[in-house]
Amino acid sequence: MARVALVTGGTRGIGEAISKALKAAGYKVAASYAGNEAAAAKFKDATGIPVFKWDVGSFEACGEGIKTVESELGPVEVLVNNAGITKDTPFHRMTLEQWNAVINTNLGSLFNMSRHVIEGMRARKFGRIINISSINGQKGQFGQVNYSAAKAGDIGFTKALALEAARSGITVNAICPGYINTEMVRAVPKDVLEKNVIAAIPTGRLGEPEEIARAVVFLASDEAGFVNGSTMTINGGQYLT
């Protein structure tokens, strides 16, 4: 029977590519989203992947959402924590709301989602949790104290939970994408993108969402059972670890 994979923020950008790649690899995929109804409907129509709306920053909403997914598709065996937001501003102008919103969505969601599936994974002696962090969680970024802190926290979460879950047949890994050719990045003015972003990437181009998705498919597989607690850096050589 096909395993069930749940991708948060799974209807747009990197998440969309991940959802599609997991479906192509034979998984039963569920994609969650926060609020863009039009994008979610378009994604569902194009892919046939069921979509579910909830706020990953809410522990209660995640619990209810996961119950719905599991009642329709079966137990979640692969969880991809991909959902994320930005509220960029220099720290001396950052508001508490901007801080809390990013921390709750980009870091708190890892607890909110993983806590609701970990006991089932332990009971079944199998699970894959894949957390999408960021190059900016590794190196920091001007105007992104909130985002960088959350994404660095994702890496610490990954390492600690990997140690706890390993004996139960569960792996927990992180992926740190660099600058990827998504709608958000394409919105950057062309001259800024070329001079300040692409010029800093040794590979000389943006990454493609499908390149992140292929890494997720590998980490979700049985073949990746000995890969645990790792941080996979996919950034074209922009930041070396």
Residue 239 among the catalytic residues: no
| Contact status, residue 182 vs residue 13, Cβ threshold 8 Å | yes
Catalytic-role residue among 27, 147, 179, 239? 147
Burial of 125 (0-12, 13-18, 19+ CB in 10 A): exposed
Euclidean distance between CA atoms 24 and 202, whole angstroms = 31
Euclidean distance between CA atoms 82 and 10, whole angstroms = 7
CB count in 10 Å sphere of residue 168? 15
Euclidean distance between CA atoms 170 and 162, whole angstroms = 8
Q: List, by residue number, the catalytic residues.
A: 147
